[in-house]
Amino acid sequence: MKFCLIDAGIFIDKPELLDPLRAIGEVEVFNGIPAGTEEVIDRAGDADVIAFGLMQFTEEMLDALPKLKVLQFIGTGMWNFVNVDYAESKGIRVLNIDGYGSNAVAEFATAMALSLAKNIPPADRVLKEDRWTIDGLMGKEMKGSTVGVVGTGSIGCLSAEKFAALGAEVIACDIYESDYLKENYNIQYKSMKEVFMEADIVTLHMKVTEENERIIDHKLLSLMKKDALLINVARAELINTEDLYKALISGNLAGAAIDVYDSEPPTARDYQLAQLKNVIATPHIGYYTQEANDNSIKMAVSSILASL
């Protein structure tokens, strides 16, 4: 049996985590996203199992892998990286892992919110430009602010806890309400519209579905306070990027922090958004900690073994 980690070499800090796979077959590890179908074939044409963490699998690529039995995404939300129905129609099991980086992403959302609220990036630029001024750098305190958490699954729940610990009043929106958050943190669940109207900071933690794709549009953004902030470390497809850009350049929204993009690497439109002074943009690193990294490999290996 042959296992191919087709683009995931960057995640392998501890090669011994792959020993359970080596015990039952050959393991090859590659770095970087393949340039196209030909390179996919060069790397994994004879693989029974492919694990991946970065690339998008096209139907053409799947057609070119006749031996493939299992496609393991080293992350959450495999549907955004491969046509699962098409793969399964070809007899390929498509798997992902959940929860490996929940705390990492929740901490990252909190850090993004604090960085925006305290004006840390523009303050940093002042000193890097050999200037000394506090003009335009007045920050806001998290204590007493209202934070709206949209989606209270594992990451959203942890985010709500962290914002509550900082003294914020946390409100939430989810079709499945968390009794734990209500009982332990007195968090109120409200409609999406109410959250966007009332919150000083809105942080998104939803999965993308047909029902909520591009749900954050000009209608919801126009409800936000002009000094409000938006954090998206979930999925780019939740937001209408053009509407967000217009809200940010018009002053209808004070700032945004973005870690996810419609296309990764981003398109020119995403880079245009990232270049705004009131935006913190990062290259999808919310999950990327040593602890979460090791967890992801352990869980992916366990998932592969269980599927076999």
Among 22, 65, 21, 61, smallest CA distance to 46 is for 65
DSSP 8-state assignment for residue 32: S
Among 197, 198, 267, 192, smallest CA distance to 236 is for 267
Report yes or no: 224 and 195 within 8 Å, Cβ to Cβ.
no
Report yes or no: 217 and 240 within 8 Å, Cβ to Cβ.
yes
Give the H/E segment covering residue 63: helix 59-63
Residue count of the chain, please give it: 308
Q: Which residues are the active-site residues?
A: 235, 264, 284
Going 57 to 90 to 69 to 307, the CA torsion angle's sign is positive
Residue spans of beta strands (DSSP E) within 114-260: 146-150, 169-173, 188-189, 201-204, 229-232, 255-258
